[in-house]
Every structure is written in C-alpha cells, then in structure tokens.
Structure 1
Amino acid sequence: MALVFSAIFLFSSAALANNTTVAVSPSPDGEPQIFNGEVSAGGSQSFTYKAADHRDVLFAIDADNETCGAELRRDTERGYMPNFESFPTTRAETVAQGETLKISFFQTRLAALHQAPCIFSLTIK
C-alpha cells in the first residue's frame, strides 16, 4: 500500500512541476511580445496578462492542431469560455483596468498518449 501512495506522489509531483505560469506585463512602447514554448508530459504553460488600463489586447497563436490546445480565461468571469478552435488564430479581447486574462496551452489527449510535445508561439499586443 505504501508503494502505491509513493508512486502516486511521485507522478503527481512530476506533473505539478510541469505546470508553469508566466506573468506578462503590457509593453510600455506598444511593441508585440512574443513567447515560444513547449508543453509535454501532460503539463501546461500559462500566461497571465493584467491590464494597466482599459484597452484592446490582441492574441496571436501559432501551434499544431494535432498536438496543442489553448484556452482563455478572465478573472472577471466564472465558468466556461470557449477554447481556440484551430491554429493559427488571432483573438482580440477588450479588457478593463485591473482585469487579468490567462491563456493556457496544453497537449491534446492524443499527443499526450503518443508523447508528442505541443510546440507553440504566442504574440500579445
């Protein structure tokens, strides 16, 4: 029994270590910010963007549709928000001052089963 709990702890801690979040600040000069990343082993990569003022934010994503999924959440809304349907894609969002947007990338179920990494590029402007 102790062996089972040890195995569960080991695998869960490895999965938790692979879930990272990057805080993104608005670019003072308005230049696009570009992030490249890779998600594997069932992990995820998230980017949080806190608006300094009321503004429009443009997200552009390039990724492989077979291996990657992405979702966008707002801290001001509860419940389901639609995922991005296919890549490449762009989405413009109007955000209020102090509102936080979180965009997360993850492997598709099939990619995780085949150990294929999700490789993505995110541009925020």
Structure 2
Amino acid sequence: MSLTVEQLDNEIALKSIIGHALHVFPKSFINHNNEIILEPRNNVYFSLNEVNTELDFKCKMFAWLSRPIAKELNKYWAPRVLDSFNQLLRTNFAKDDMYKIYDRLGNDINRKLTIRFIKSNYDLTLLD
C-alpha cells in the first residue's frame, strides 16, 4: 500500500516536530508506551497514540502542557518548560497566557477551539 502525497507530507511534518521537541526539551524521550516524556523530572508527558499529524501533536501540546506550566510546576521549572514550549511552537507565550490557554484548551476540553487557535497563528483573542 502506497501513501498519498498528503499522507507522506503529514508523516514527515509529524516526525519533524517530534524530533524538534526531543531537541528543545532537555532529557526528553519516547518511552515503550508511546508517550513523549518532555520533562522527566516533573513527569510532563502525553501519549502519542492517535497523533497522526503535526496539528494533532500541537493540540496535545496545548491540552497537556498548559496545566503544568500554568499551575503545577514550581518557579524553577515552569519558565524552563514554557521556554521549550515556545521554542518548539515558535511562540512567545507568557505564563499569564498559559493560564488562559489552560482554562479554554487544557485537558483537551475543546479540540475544535484548539484547532482554530492553532490555525489562527495563536490568536489569544479567540480565547476571550
């Protein structure tokens, strides 16, 4: 079975962003359960199951990293994880932005809004 051009492009883009994530998050890795462990010491991770595109990966980033950055990580770790998050997505979110993102997109509560947010180039006014 051969892949379509779109499927091949999706696969390349997904592998690229995962590779970039493993680069910008120090000590990150993918475990045997297909979870990407982005910050091992603080157990910041999410499952790569059902992640088929770069967009899926970005949605998971907002769903599962917004809470630790906004609420769980201490004053040492939160800025470091946020910095890696921003490097990966080429954004410049502040911690206050992550509170709003967590409130509206965290825990994958609104995937449609998350997709609109990503496709809008991260327009925070969509979350008001």
- Name the TM-score class by shorter chain: under 0.3
Larger radius of gyration: 1
Q: TM-score, normalised by structure 2?
A: 0.27
Looking at both structures, which has the greater relative contact order when contacts are Cα pairs under 8 Å and sequence separation is at least 6? Answer: 1
Q: TM-score, normalised by structure 1?
A: 0.28
Structure (1 or 2) with the greater helix fraction: 2
Structure (1 or 2) with the greater strand fraction: 1
